[in-house]
Amino acid sequence: MRNERDMTTNSAFRTPHSALEVSFTLNGTPTTVSVPDSERLLDTLRYRLGLTGAKEGCAEGECGACTVWLDGLPANSCLVPIYQVRGRRVNTVEALDPAAVAPLLDAGATQCGACTPGVVMTALWILQHPDVLATHTVRELMAGNLCRCTGYDGIVDGIEAARP
Amino acid sequence: MSVLLPGSRREALELLARSNGAAMPIAGGTDLLVHWPQRQEEHDRAYLDLSGIAELRPVEWTPDALVLGGLTTYWDVIRDARVGRELPLLAVAARQVGSIQIQTRGTWAGNIVNGSPAADGVPVLMAYDAVVVLESVAGREEVPLERFYEGYKQMRRRPDQLVVAIRIPRRPYTFQRFVKIGSRRAQAIAKVGLAVTHSAAGGGGWRVVAASVAPTIRRCPSIERLLEEQAAVHSPEELLPAIARDVTPIDDIRSTAEYRKLAMARVLFYDVFRGREQGAGSTDHGRRMTDNG
Ligand SMILES: Cc1cc2nc3c(=O)[nH]c(=O)nc-3n(C[C@H](O)[C@H](O)[C@H](O)COP(=O)(O)OP(=O)(O)OC[C@H]3O[C@@H](n4cnc5c(N)ncnc54)[C@H](O)[C@@H]3O)c2cc1C
Ligand code: FES
Ligand code: FES
């Protein structure tokens, strides 16, 4: 990992895209990657680690198709520089329990499926933290996951049906 | 482009000082990571990652202030029940920023330094009389947020300074309101934002802060004077001359100058001038409106 010694020769400002070693916990497993320092978490997951569940819908934080959990909180992986996950926990849709997603399928929460990996990451986060429903509605919490197909009712109904 | 990964505040300040302005702090990245491909081509730019500096994250309550850290996120504030009781506009505004995925990453300091005239965090901080605490290797400096901006994206922060804290005085408020008008309820940038407070405590009085209607977020002294004088106002239109003295909205991609002035007049009239009678005791501190109702 780059450290301040680079600064003394000013090389930090001359070498574009230098490689960086980043260690983090991915879906419970300690993981180390060597990546260009310009890479986003979404790129590392999809193109280096083969975890293609998170989708790139907009690349600017609007659509939520790239949602993962960072230290247990939903975040858009398209807006996370890879070096910011060092020492942290990342969870992706690949590690979810398929049984937990069943109520969403039953309620018609998915049609074309493009938004679904992101939708289920936010939905299951809500279901694992039901205390947030004391202050927030499901719709407010799901507002960062755009869906062009379902009209959202299926998504909201699925979460309501699965609530503890 | 390259990155610098300091592990402490001290180290970050030293790296910043030595970079001669070439290093740019990065916190939640929710402003900086948008249009990322273009940024990758900035070969002379170094990003100074603040995310590893644990000491910048915590929220602290002192006897007379709430102190947000340089890395405190919207979600940190939303989850602090005391904020909801004492300084509710912070939570109301935080919940209107983007979406949950943005709120868990975006920081208050990033909102201030990004300098957007349409920001949601800045108006409520300014209505609560917040002070920006800047630090460099040369020492600390405190700038009241209402004097922080000097022009569009121009502010009183030198490139070698970090925002290390934001201090918000604890005062009893008799009126507090935040209203944001956007195109839809979520993920919309404000066409008009208004944060209004009234406190009888020292240095208080009325504070009316407007967003998206001038090159910077700013207080509205003419409107504040009308409120201080308890002027009788009978319609939104009667507020337009004072609004014209206080703000200079423009036509842009999100709205028109005309619409912004009218919307501001209507919100001020119905929510503030009429609302002040029932101000105390009201627990409805915020509203988000869309153009179509
Ligand atoms: C989809 C989406 C929706 C959004 N919606 C809203 C919205 O509704 N309302 C709103 O107000 N904003 C919104 N934003 C903008 C953004 O989320 C906020 O401005 C946020 O507060 C920025 O904080 P950050 O930590 O992510 O900043 P970063 O992107 O990390 O940095 C922003 C700027 O602040 C500087 N900076 C950060 N921290 C410090 C520090 N401690 N000291 C000195 N400089 C610092 C950086 O150098 C940079 O110039 C949205 C963004 C996205 C992507
Ligand atoms: S791709 Fe990340 S939010 Fe759309
Ligand atoms: S199911 Fe098609 S976008 Fe949501």
pLDDT score at B40: 72
Mutate which of A101, A142, A147, A152 for ligand 3 pocket (most atoms within 8 A of beta carbon):
A147
Ligand 3 binding pocket includes A150 (Cβ within 6 Å)? yes
CB contact under 8 A, B187 and A17: no
Q: Measured between CA atoms, how close is A3 to chain B, in angstroms?
A: 7
Are residues B214 and B104 part of one domain? no
Ligand 3 binding pocket includes A113 (Cβ within 6 Å)? yes
Round the average pLDDT of chain B to a whole number and report it.
92
Are residues B191 and B155 part of one domain? no
Q: Does ipTM top 0.90? A: yes
pLDDT digits (tens, 9 = 90+) for B182-223: 877 677 788 899 999 999 987 779 999 999 999 999 999 999
Residue that has been written with the tokens 């979406």 in this structure: B99
Residue type, A50: G
pLDDT score at A5: 36
Are residues B211 and B195 part of one domain? yes
Tokens of A109: 């929460």
Average pLDDT, integer, range B31-56: 87
pLDDT score at B188: 79
Q: Could you tell me the domains of chain A?
A: 4-95 (3.10.20.30), 98-162 (1.10.150.120)
DSSP-derived letter for residue A61 is S
Are residues B182 and B101 part of one domain? no
Domain boundary among the residues B145, B169, B193 is at: B169
Domain boundary among the residues B138, B169, B200 is at: B169
Q: A35: number of CA atoms within 13 Å, CB side? A: 26
Report residue B4's pLDDT band, with 50, 70 and 90 as the boundaries: very high
The pLDDT tens digits along chain A (164 residues) read: 333 333 333 333 434 457 899 999 999 999 999 999 999 999 999 999 999 999 999 999 999 999 999 999 999 999 999 999 999 999 999 999 999 999 999 999 999 999 999 999 999 999 999 999 999 999 999 999 999 999 999 999 999 999 87
Give the whole-angstrom CA distance, residue B43 versus residue B121: 31
Atom of ligand 1 nearest to the CA of B99: 3
Average pLDDT, integer, range B115-143: 97
Average pLDDT, integer, range B55-74: 97
Q: Which residues of B fall within a CB distance of 8 Å from A13?
A: 2, 19, 22, 44-46
Average pLDDT, integer, range B29-55: 87
Kindly list the distances between the CA atom of residue B135 and the CA atoms of A46, A108, B48, B107, in Å, as whole numbers in the listed order: 39, 52, 15, 17
Give the nearest partner residue to B1 out of A16, A75, A80, using CB atoms. Answer: A16
Tokens of A114: 């493009």
- Residues 97-156 of chain B whose Cβ lies under 8 A from any Cβ of chain A: 98-102, 104-105
Are residues B262 and B119 part of one domain? no
b/e A84-111 (16+ beta carbons within 10 angstroms → b): bbbebebbbbeebeeeebebbeebebbe
**CATH code for position B72:** 3.30.465.10
Are residues B41 and B77 part of one domain? yes
Report residue B290's pLDDT band, with 50, 70 and 90 as the boundaries: low
pLDDT score at B37: 72
Domain boundary among the residues B169, B189, B212 is at: B169
Q: What percent of chain B has pLDDT over 90?
A: 80
pLDDT digits (tens, 9 = 90+) for B88-127: 999 999 999 999 999 999 999 999 999 999 999 999 999 9
Ligand 1 binding pocket includes B135 (Cβ within 6 Å)? no
Are residues B209 and B227 part of one domain? yes
Whole-model pTM: value is 0.94
When mean pLDDT is compared across B11-25, B32-46, B232-246, B273-287, the lowest value belongs to: B273-287
Are residues B245 and B221 part of one domain? yes
Three-class HEC string of chain B? CEEECCCCHHHHHHHHHHCCCCEEEECCCCCCCCCHHHHCCCCCCEEEECCCCHHHCCCEECCCEEEEECCCEHHHHHCCHHHHHHCHHHHHHHCCCCCHHHHCCCEHHHHHHHCCCCCCHHHHHHHCCCEEEEEECCEEEEEEHHHCEEECCEECCCCCCEEEEEEEECCCCCEEEEEEEECCCCCCCCCEEEEEEEECCCCCEEEEEEECCCCCCEECHHHHHHHHCCCCCCCHHHHHHHHHHHCCCCCCCCCCHHHHHHHHHHHHHHHHHCHHHHCCCCCCCEEEEECCC
pLDDT score at A17: 58
Are residues B102 and B214 part of one domain? no
**CATH code for position B193:** 3.30.390.50
Helix (H, G, I), strand (E, B) or coil at A30: strand
pLDDT score at B183: 77
Ligand 1 binding pocket includes B163 (Cβ within 6 Å)? yes
pLDDT digits (tens, 9 = 90+) for B226-263: 999 999 999 999 999 999 999 999 888 888 999 999 99
Residue that has been written with the tokens 């998504």 in this structure: A155
Are residues B194 and B209 part of one domain? yes
Report residue B278's pLDDT band, with 50, 70 and 90 as the boundaries: low
Q: Measured between CA atoms, how close is B71 to chain A, in angstroms?
A: 13
Q: Which residues of B fall within a CB distance of 8 Å from A81?
A: 3, 26, 29, 33, 47, 49
DSSP-derived letter for residue A46 is I
Domain count, chain B: 2
Are residues B139 and B20 part of one domain? yes
Contact status, residue B106 vs residue B30, Cβ threshold 8 Å = yes
pLDDT score at A9: 36
Are residues B157 and B46 part of one domain? yes
B185: containing domain: 175-289
